[in-house]
Chains A and B, each alone.
Chain A
Amino acid sequence: MSENKLMKNSVITTSLSRELTAAEISEIEHEISLYPDKRAVGLEALKIVQRHQGWVSDESMRAISNYLDIPVADLEGVATFFNLIYRRPVGKKVILFCDSVSCWVMGCDRIKQKITDQLGIDYGETTSDGEYTLIPVPCLGDCDKAPVMMIGEEMHRHLDEEGIESLFRNAAVNKSGGDS
């Protein structure tokens, strides 16, 4: 890559920002009031922005970085580290599918296959109607009710193939080729 192009890229990157909304700022300010150091609320700010915007874009990253005075690289280190911060757009509902040991023993692989067949998405993908994104999640801590998953904030327990069939029956109608 030529020096010229590098410079051009960096100019583009610095211009990628936006203003945080009043609602975002008010929630971030509340978090700041709870900690002795405002840089501690980086993760909270990412979560707040994600709650409002659905995901964390580069523009949002830079806005949070500016607001909290945290280098973008550090904030990116936090954002990409945590499973529940989305750096790409996700569907309206995120399916957190538990694939850890108790759910595996209870046959979660078949359930996952059923979801993939029915919605036409694999891990990391979103249905073409933008409704669902499927993501694997480490042990959800509900192992006596395995297999389990979360859709949005709601737990779904004792999963079986029939249950998946009826849960996504309406969603399946919208399926049109997936986006693989």
Chain B
Amino acid sequence: MSDRPLTKNIDLARGPLSLRDYEAAGGYRGAKSVAGLHPNEVLERVKESGLKGRGGAGFPTGLKWSFVPQGPESEQQKYLVVNADEMEPGTFKDRLLMEGDPHLLIEGMIIAAYTIGANKAFIFLRGEYVLAEKRLARAIAEAKEAGHLGTNLFGTGYDLDIVLHTSAGRYICGEETALLNALEGKRANPRAKPPFPQVSGLWGKPTIVNNVETLCNLPGILANGVEWYQSLGSGGDYGTKMFGVSGRVKKPGCWELPFGVSIREVIEGHAGGMQEGYSLKAFLPGGGSTDFLTPEHLDTPLTYSAIGELGSRLATGTMILLDDKTCPVGMIGNLMRFFAHESCGFCTPCRDGLPWVDAIFRDLECGKGSAKDIAILHDHVGYMGPGKTFCALAPGATAPLGSGLKLFAEEFEQHLVHGACPYL
């Protein structure tokens, strides 16, 4: 049994495995094993496994599924939706999984859909991922032809149809209720919660939205068992996770590693350490919506709780590195520009706050800022923080903003004093 259940089949040099080769490598064993199980038994296994959502929030997957109303009295039409709208700045893990082993995702979808009782599933794929689209479409066609999708799967009497939907590029579609609106053909504004999608989601029907990487964990759990799954990983989180590093390292990339591996091992080991002439100043541990950490945190194990205790989030597990030759104010300004552009404009703190923050950064970067501007930025960390907005976009933006203001107070000050960016 592989200790890399997510990437064992991935070899970018040869392209993804065909259905036949995927099955020869032990694929679809997980999906076939659910045929002998009641959906509740599968649900219990997934709960027991301790699998948490890999999209960013880290919510327990089994618990999320358990909120779907079941039984003869419940709404019979249910949906599974795959969130494949990977757009978090600095995040490039789902692309690898979908391009590298599309059948793994399809197998995971079969397991999830069977468990929640969905006979229709949608993959919500970002429009720019054209290679992933082609490979998924081919894999879906292969699975249909082999009878792994369609009617009476594996002799269970259970039917499943998968639709591949490609989007057209908006970050907010990664927010699950905005994604559902987009899938219904509407402008992708987030919805009020409650009701939660598990109860009233796509077209008002019970819906589970799961991230690509989350679903790719399921075939291994079902085929090899909970005990095996929990033997991977340490520090209270089970299984493996895709961890990535981008920035000025020698070998940027994305690797499947067990939970509990140290940040140092990823940055200095797998990514080969910093390039000659550069040193590590700070990093965002899990995409653009996480708080900065510094080299003093390098020996922290990569688990949800350990990173949480440092006041940041593990989130997508893809780290973005800031080196000593790159301006921290410029880097935060770049992130603010992204969030301002990608705000759906539905609620005031986000729609008005982010462009204001962005405008201040544009002034600061060319040395036209004032002390009052810095105070306004601090105010916005509060105005746009958790609980003040409709969804998590603006609170996400306040993570690098708030932590960056504290950590780089001196660099902000230098921009005011010099009347220019000291890094230019």
Contact = CB atoms under 8 A, between A and B. Distances in A.
A144 B245 contact: yes
6 contacts: A43-B182, A84-B128, A139-B87, A141-B94, A143-B91, A143-B244
B185 A41 contact: yes
Interface stretch (B44-52, B56-64, B223-231, B314-322): B314-322
A101 B338 contact: yes
What are the nearest 9 A-B pairs in CB distance? A82-B168, A83-B169, A143-B246, A144-B252, A84-B168, A102-B246, A40-B185, A42-B185, A104-B334
Nearest to B86: A141
Contact of B331 (A44, A77, A96, A101): A101
A155 B247 CA distance: 19
B361 interface: no
Chief secondary structure at chain A's binding surface: mixed
A25 interface: no
Contact of B89 (A46, A139, A142, A155): A139
A137 interface: yes
Interface residues of B, number: 56
A143 B252 contact: yes
A110 to B, nearest CB: 12
Interface string B189-205: 00000000000000100
Interface in A72-92: 74, 77-78, 81-85
Given A43-B182, A84-B127, A106 B248 contact: yes
A159 interface: no
A144 B90 CA distance: 9
B7 interface: no
What range describes how many residues of A lie at the interface? 35 or more
A140 B318 contact: no
A141 B19 CA distance: 26
Interface string B321-357: 1110010001100110110011010000000000000
Given A101-B89, A104-B334, A144 B185 contact: no
Contacts of A102: 89-90, 246-247, 320
B204 to A, nearest CB: 11
Contacts of A140: 128
Q: Which of A43, A140, A145 has the most CB of B within 10 A?
A: A43
Contacts of A3: none
A47 B168 contact: yes
A35 B180 CA distance: 13
Contacts of B247: 102, 105-106
A26 B59 CA distance: 41
Contacts of B92: 141-144
Q: Which of A35, A85, A106 has the most CB of B within 10 A?
A: A35
Nearest to A146: B246
A78 B188 CA distance: 8
Interface of B: 86-92, 94-95, 126-131, 163, 165-171, 182-188, 203, 244-248, 252-254, 284, 288, 318, 320-323, 326, 330-331, 334-335, 337-338, 341-342, 344
Contacts of A93: none
A79 B270 CA distance: 42
Given A40-B184, A43-B185, A144 B169 contact: no
A81 B90 contact: no
A84 B127 CA distance: 8
Nearest to A75: B185
A173 to B, nearest CB: 29
A70 interface: yes
Interface of A: 34-37, 39-44, 46-47, 70, 74, 77-78, 81-85, 96, 99-102, 104-106, 137-146, 150, 153, 155
A141 B126 CA distance: 10
B82 to A, nearest CB: 15
Q: Which of A40, A44, A46, A143 has the most CB of B within 10 A?
A: A143
Q: Which of B91, B128, B247, B288 has the most CB of A within 10 A?
A: B128
Given A138-B341, A141-B91, A81 B331 contact: no
B168 A85 contact: yes
A37 B184 contact: yes
A40 B89 contact: no
Given A43-B185, A101-B320, A105-B331, A139 B338 contact: yes
Given A40-B184, A47-B166, A102-B89, 13 more contacts: A83-B168, A84-B128, A84-B168, A96-B128, A100-B334, A101-B284, A102-B90, A102-B320, A105-B331, A141-B129, A143-B90, A144-B246, A144-B252
Nearest to A46: B168
B90 A139 contact: yes
A39 to B, nearest CB: 5
A138 B342 contact: yes
Contacts of A99: 334, 337
A101 B339 CA distance: 11
B170 A145 contact: no
A153 B91 CA distance: 20
A144 B167 contact: no
Nearest to A140: B128
B170 A81 contact: yes
A142 B92 CA distance: 5
Contacts of A101: 89-90, 284, 288, 320, 331, 334-335, 338
